[in-house]
Copies of this chain bind each other. A is one copy, B any other.
Amino acid sequence: MFESAEIGHTIDKATYDSQVPALREALLSAQLDLLEQARFPVLILISGIEGAGKSETVKLLNEWMDPRHVQVSTFDEQTDEELAHPPAWRYWRQMPPKGKIGIYFGNWYDQMLQARVHKVIEDPRLDQAINGAVRLERMLSEEGTLVFKFWFHLSKKHMKERLKTLENDPLHSWRLSPLDWQQSKTYDQFVRYGERVLRRCSRDFAPWYVIDGSDEHYRSLSVGRILLQGLQAALKNKGPAKPSPHAAPLVSSLDNRTLLDALDMSQALTKEEYQEQLIAEQARLSRLMRDKRMRKFALVAVFEGNDAAGKGGSIQRIAAALDPRQYRIVPIASPTEEERAQPYLWRFWRHIPARGKFTIFDRSWYGRVLVERVENLCAQADWLRAYGEINDFEEELSNAGVVLVKFWLAIDQETQLQRFKEREETPFKHYKITEDDWRNRSKWDDYCDAVGDMVDRTSTAIAPWTLVEANDKRFARVKILRTINDTLEAALNR
């Protein structure tokens, strides 16, 4: 993996000086195209051996390009806000928007390598981290992000020489390496695990580039050229997304009987049963949220459902049980301009609760496989890959102690019609019914298929879907509260 980066490539100063001006101009011009097209962001990951020219190269890229549209992020010590969120949160919050270039120093690779070298984790956990990285980058790449990964390399001998030089250079003392790089053992281990990481994470959509860091001119020209070629190719390629290998529409069940048909929609509660059970479950939720063990967890509830199925009312019954300081309700409408400039999941990541908190999503990331699928708002390839991306996302949350509860509130067509009419007739509820609702209704069967596929593909052990029979609002509200409580209680007792 690193062999060719240790043979000591060099480029003499004259050649370098003669080539840089044209490269610079081309890079700057590509950057301007990128900015103007604003079709995708560029993410550059910088990793490798200490002293191999990582910060020098980043500095140079800033000089060669317009630094106003390059955003360098470092990820050293986690802040306490970062510690209170799932590990990926810190990377999501720094994502460059479309048209811009983000450079990540100390990215997920450094984190996993440091942890492995210092024996904070063992091989199985390293492999998990590697798989997580591949999934994340695949998703970013499918969302349009152009990912470059540079590994700056040095042979052990070169590294030792380099660290010595830096030490004696007062102007560059900020680049003094951490103590452990002075030790041979660290180098050996870093290279050993680095090899494994590079091998498994070098994919067509985000390959690793190993850069020989021993010669400044060679290193700088190499990185510049790779960036330029990648950028130019991506800027030229304006075609539609490539079709997914399984782009044939999903097959609905052969007997035409969906999951939703199997629900017993007649379930109901009397007013007395409702009052009693509602209060009991609300008190239970209030108690659970104030449980000391909750400090280690966060809670996320996702509400999806037919129009007029009673999402709003159910959410209000949950809110009524809680201290308003503990929860936040996030209504998902059309994405804002800043959200549209980011990968799909970004706008949900920004609302993921810190430990001890509860976020209720009124509609959610499932919009991609529901409304966006049915209304053709995204390409088929996009919603087809979304199932896997969503499962990855939810696993990340779950691994970080986020308890997930997902509800589909189902009503039948007659009940919906009745509620629509009621809303149109009650001046106070009139705002709740729009043209969209009637249009969605005309696509009832499409939605049924979408819901069936969604549940089949994203109801997982860590984040199962709960289908809620919501013809009777009382029954639905109690079932929802009880499900949240059961799930949360199980998590706290685990």
Contact = CB atoms under 8 A, between A and B. Distances in A.
Q: Binding site of A, secondary structure by majority: helix, strand, loop or mixed?
A: helix
Given A79-B79, A171-B286, A63 B320 contact: yes
Interface centre among A55, A59, A287 (most CB of B within 10 A): A59
Contact of A328 (B59, B72, B320): B72
Interface residues of A, number: 49
A366 to B, nearest CB: 17
A396 B364 CA distance: 38
B68 A312 contact: yes
A287 B175 CA distance: 13
A436 to B, nearest CB: 16
Contacts of A69: 331
Nearest to A172: B286
Contacts of A28: 428
Nearest to A84: B79
A161 interface: no
A330 B72 CA distance: 12
A242 to B, nearest CB: 31
Contacts of A286: 171
Contacts of A173: 290
Interface string A320-364: 101111001111000011100000000000000000000000100
A106 to B, nearest CB: 9
A37 interface: no
A105 interface: yes
A312 B63 CA distance: 11
Interface string A28-63: 110010000000000000000000000100110011
A67 interface: yes
Contacts of A283: 171
Interface in A415-474: 428, 431
B103 A324 contact: yes
Nearest to A32: B431
5 contacts: A59-B324, A72-B325, A103-B324, A174-B290, A336-B338
